[in-house]
Amino acid sequence: MAENTPDVVEEEVVIRAEEVVVAPTPVVAQPTGAPARRARTDRGGRGDRRGGGNRRSGPSRERSEFAQKLIGIRRVARVMAGGRRFNFSVAIVLGDKMGRVGVGLGKAADTQLAIEKATRMAKRGMLTIPLTKSRSISHNVHAKYCASVVEIRPAPGRGLVAGSSVRTVLELAGITDVTGKLLSRSKNPLNNARAAMDALKQMKNVNLKN
């Protein structure tokens, strides 16, 4: 019996070692008030963080319903007692391509601030133009602003035929199948755009936004 005793002891030791390896690891209780640690299940932590939402990007900006286009930007110098002071003048056209369009002018020491001022001005003076089924106008219109003279005529099947900033105004308003004609030699894009706006104001049942 003494010879068999070591074998039995060795078997018991092996069994106990296997039980220790197979048994699940004990859960260590954390003290109350301590934040629980989040288990990391995968190695792609950065990818998940970017997909779930990037903290550095900040809140997402809502996309504007209006399309905008710059038709003129100038740097204006004003002579003061201590030297020259520079400002920026920005002219912008704003429209939703569904019949609403506006022209604005903004002046500021920074281009971004000037664009914001021009955008607010364009929204205040926006027009709502009644369009036909073919997204054209119903009759001829003619207007003059300063030295700019503009005439807009419906042209079924020809598309949008216009130049200078008159084309920008008509395009952002969503008007097609028209012909815009500049009857003056003015090269000022802001005056041409305002002449086009004055011509569109002559449309019947046009809504003016104050």
Same domain, 72 and 116: yes
Residue 4 in any domain: the answer is no
Interatomic CA distance for residues 25 and 71, integer angstroms: 71
Cβ atoms 108, 81 nearer than 8 A: no
Of 110, 127, 144, at which residue does a domain stop?
127
Same domain, 135 and 202: yes
Same domain, 139 and 115: no
Residue 28 in any domain: the answer is no
* pLDDT reading at 20 higher than 50: no
How does 186-207 read in b/e, with b if 16+ C-beta sit within 10 Å? Answer: bebbbbbbbbbbbbbeebeeee
Same domain, 104 and 170: no
* Residue 94 per-residue DSSP state: E
Residue 24 in any domain: the answer is no
Same domain, 119 and 157: no
Interatomic CA distance for residues 118 and 102, integer angstroms: 10
Residue 6 in any domain: the answer is no
Question: Structural domain tally of the chain?
Answer: 2
Of 127, 150, 167, at which residue does a domain stop?
127
Same domain, 133 and 199: yes
Residues 112, 115, 121, 123, Cα dihedral to 10°: -100
Same domain, 84 and 113: yes
Q: What is the pLDDT of residues 171-194, one digit of tens each?
A: 999 999 999 999 998 899 999 999
Same domain, 142 and 165: yes
Q: What is the pLDDT of residues 29-52, one digit of tens each?
A: 555 555 555 555 555 545 444 444
Residue 55 in any domain: the answer is no
Same domain, 114 and 185: no
Q: List, in sequence order, every beta strand (DSSP E) within 53-205.
A: 67-80, 83-95, 100-108, 127-128, 141-145, 148-154, 160-161, 178-182
Section 120-138 average pLDDT: 90
Question: Would you say the pTM of this structure is higher than 0.75?
Answer: no
* Residue 133 per-residue DSSP state: T
Q: What is the CATH number of the domain that holds 164?
A: 3.30.230.10
- Sheet holding 127-128: strands in order across? 67-80, 83-95, 100-108, 127-128, 207-208
Per-residue pLDDT at 105 = 95
Range of the domain at 135: 129-208
Of 13-17, 46-50, 137-141, 192-196, the one with minimum mean pLDDT is 13-17
Residue 155 in any domain: the answer is yes
Cβ atoms 160, 144 nearer than 8 A: no
Same domain, 196 and 151: yes
Same domain, 117 and 79: yes
* pLDDT reading at 70 higher than 70: yes
Q: What is the pLDDT of residues 74-99, one digit of tens each?
A: 998 989 888 898 999 999 999 999 99
Q: Give the chain's radius of gyration (CA, Å).
A: 36
Section 194-203 average pLDDT: 92
